[in-house]
Structure 1
């Protein structure tokens, strides 16, 4: 389980070091940085697939994602530009009880290449334990050089070079050279993100599709029928029917299989025939998508949900909250939401909700009530 998440210089996240627990709810008013935190987590996950640089390019490049305010902020003076004294860097990292990892991206030295605007990975570090300290380092990268600590505690050097746009997570994670790096990479690759599901008339979730055993719902929800049937057959016994009954009393979901093509059939109290996926209301379909996602028979290390309450009627929030709490029994969960009723629904079912309220202070995102001494221990290495 992650115990600390740290982000620096990403959009409004000038410096944010957050404590994490099993079930975390990130809340706050519009514009306080909730979406930035969600995107920073996705960017960190992309690093495990060597896709951090490409992900930054999709956001407009490093320059458009960096903190836009001054390097130093003094509350007794108006916001104004100053001469920069530190190198430009976008830093992200996390720590858990067993391992921690961080990445520092910066601007390249211009060499006349067509790719001179591509960010470079300046530093990476993997360490044992919850805190970064020299004795706990297992693998570190500085510029293009990677060094790996052997089982005897000695640093292995020589021949460990990596391109500026490649992560050591992809280049050096193997059972022999760096088994710990392989472990952390596979954990990060298991992280699962769900954003706003499409429920419009042309949404993939409304179509009849060929079904195979689906332990993980796809990002677009197109395999929802197969995922629901998989939950019914190999998921928690009775969990699917219970989730439907809690949200829609007297209703049930059937998956119709026509020569291998799966379709949702929603039996609703008072109707003479079931409703197909194309006939379902947006809210009903979206709830079914969350059922398929949160009752997964193959839970991830980390499950991140972005505003799952969107387009759901308030009467469905207790049922959705119950799904989230069920998922949190098998995975660490981070929920990003601005809905106070949804937060209240979660709190009514469990006292283990860790609420992180984000606020803005002179343009920078901070955690409400967190002072400098309240942050979890965290240190960024120098370049």
Structure 2
């Protein structure tokens, strides 16, 4: 389980360390930095897939996503003014967990006339460490530019120079020399993110699809019918029926298969036939998508939901909160939401970790969390 996530130099985030528990609810006003926390988590996960650099490019490159304020945030009541930079350009991301932690420091390459990619971000430093803080004594794997070393009884150099745009999480990792990298890579690849699941008229979930056993709902929800049927056949029929009945009293899910093509229906009391996926309202379809994601027979170590309340009527929020609480019994869940009602319902659970993001001196901060309560973190130096 992650115990902290650290972000530095990313958009509205100057330097932020979020404490995490099993069930986490992140709220805040528009512009407070919720989306930036979500994107940062996706970037961390992307390090294991080799997709973080491409993701930064899609956001406009490193220059477009760096902390937009002065090197040091201004004091309340003061005006921000440009100053001479004293530290190198850096976007830093990391996390601590019950056993292994990870941090990455991204910057710009040394300019060269022989390339047109001088603005592509490169990895300056990476560390894998044991415990909550990346102290020198806790380091297990360390990368500085292309030089990588690992420690068992003593430090040993790795005879491979990873490209500047590729993380050691994706490039290295075996059971003999770097088992920690293999462990982290598998964990990060298992993280799941659900963000604005499509419910428009052309959404893949509204069309019949070839069905295969689907323990994990896809990002676009195209395999919704197969995912719901998998829940039933893996022993979750009673829980699924109870969830649907709580959200839509007297209703139940029906999945039909013809020559391997699955179709989804929702049978409701008072109707002579089930409503097909193409007929469902956006809110109803979104709730079914979230149900398939949260009742997964194959729980991940971490699931992140970004604004799951979108398109849902307020009457569906209690059922959604029940779903999320049930999922948090088997997986760590982070919910980023605008819906105060959903946050209140989730907050009724004694174990919930409620975090409210605010802007202080134009930088994202956590309301009510003092420096002494903030998780310990050390970025180290290049």
TM-score by length of 2: 0.98
**Map of 2:120 onto structure 1:** 118
Deviation at 1:347, TM superposition (A): 2.6
Q: Which runs of 4+ in 1 moved over 4 A?
A: none
2:103: which partner in 1? 102
Aligned residue for 1:336? 336
2:244 matched residue in structure 1? 244
**CA offset at residue 157 of structure 1?**
1.7
Matching residue of 2:282 = 282
Deviation at 1:373, TM superposition (A): 2.0
Shift of 1:278: 0.7
Q: Could you tell me whether the CA contact under 8 Å between 2:256 and 2:264 is conserved in 1?
A: yes
Q: CA deviation at 1:235?
A: 4.3
Tell me, yes or no, if the aligned pair for 1:70 and 1:81 is still in contact at 8 Å: yes
Unpaired segments of 5 or more residues in structure 2? none
Which blocks of at least 5 consecutive residues in structure 1 are unaligned?
none
Shift of residue 72 of structure 1?
Answer: 1.4
Aligned-residue CA RMSD (Å): 1.0
1:136 aligned partner = 138
Deviation string for 1:301-348 (max 9, x for gaps)?
100000001110111000000110111011000000011111122233
Q: Counterparts of 1:203 and 1:72 in 2: how far apart (Å)?
A: 45
> CA offset at residue 237 of structure 1?
4.7
Partner of 2:93: 92
Pairing of 1:1-383 with structure 2 (within 5 A): 1-75=1-75, 77-112=78-113, 113-150=115-152, 153-157=153-157, 159-348=159-348, 350-383=349-382
- Equivalences, count: 380
Shift of 1:248: 0.7
Distance 1:41 1:235, change over 3 A: farther
Q: Distance between the aligned counterparts of 1:42 and 1:73, measured in 2?
A: 25
How many Å separate the matches in 2 of 1:64 and 1:198? 27
Tell me how far apart the structure 2 counterparts of residues 33 and 230 of structure 1 sit (CA, whole Å). 36
Q: Does the Cα contact within 8 Å between 1:235 and 1:295 map onto a contact in 2?
A: no
| Per-residue CA distance 1:175-199 (angstroms, 9 max, x = gap) | 1110011101110110000001111
What is the rounded CA distance, in whole Å, between the counterparts of 1:77 and 1:255 in structure 2?
61
Separation (CA, whole Å) in 2 of partners of 1:197 and 1:164? 33
Distance across 2 between alignment mates of 1:201 and 1:78: 47
C-alpha separation in 1, matches of 2:210 and 2:276: 16
How far does the alpha carbon of each residue in 1:89-130 deviate from its partner, in whole angstroms, 9 at most, with x for none?
A: 000000012010000000111012111110110000001112
Work out whether residues 96 and 129 of structure 1, in 8 Å CA contact, stay in contact via their aligned partners in 2: yes
SS at match of 1:249: coil
Distance in 2 of aligned mates of 1:158 and 1:238: 52
Contact 2:132 2:377 in 1 (8 A): no
**Secondary structure at 1:278 match in 2:** helix
